[in-house]
């Protein structure tokens, strides 16, 4: 089992930056051989994929965040650096891990990931 806990959310003005972290416990070796990623969910919306990073550190980004958000991983943690934030980025952000494969693909479905954190809120004001 892999347990994930997000941190780093908060409220910022448009144009600001935040860095989210996802701390891992439990099956650390399993996590280190997993594709990991970030999703977000705005009120009344479905859960939307944001970014993923493979074991080999190949990264993938949704079109809406490419060039502004950057995902990285280091042992038992992965992070999402968010820059030039917009009101449209307001959402609950979730980290996730897919224990079944080390290499991610772009535009994954929510159901691909088995392990999820509880979420951290990001609010961007105009």
Structure confidence by residue, pLDDT tens digits, 64-122? 999 999 999 998 899 999 999 999 999 999 999 999 999 999 999 999 999 999 999 99
Question: In sequence order, what are the beta bridge partners of 93?
Answer: 40, 120
Q: Which of 93, 92, 90 is nearest to 126 (CA)?
A: 90
Q: Which of 115, 122, 94 is nearest to 28 (CA)?
A: 115
Q: What percent of the chain has a predicted confidence (pLDDT) above 90? A: 94
Any idea which residue has 């088995």 for tokens? 114
Strand order, beta sheet including 2-7: 2-7, 18-26, 77-82, 69-73
Q: What is the mean pLDDT of the chain?
A: 96
Average pLDDT over residues 33-43: 96
30 membership: H or E segment, kind and range: helix 28-32
Q: What pLDDT is recorded for position 76?
A: 87
């Amino acid at each position: 089992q892999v347990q994930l806990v997000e941190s780093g959310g908060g409220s910022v003005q448009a144009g600001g930056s935040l860095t989210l972290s996802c701390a891992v416990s439990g099956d650390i070796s399993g996590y280190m051989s997993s594709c990991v990623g970030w999703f977000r969910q705005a009120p009344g919306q479905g859960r939307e994929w944001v970014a993923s990073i493979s074991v080999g550190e190949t990264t993938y980004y949704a079109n809406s965040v490419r060039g502004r958000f950057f995902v990285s991983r280091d042992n038992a943690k992965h992070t999402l650096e968010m820059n030039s934030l917009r009101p449209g980025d307001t959402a609950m952000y979730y980290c996730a891990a897919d224990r079944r494969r080390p290499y991610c693909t772009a535009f994954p479905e929510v159901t691909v990931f088995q392990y999820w954190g509880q979420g951290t809120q990001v609010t961007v004001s105009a």
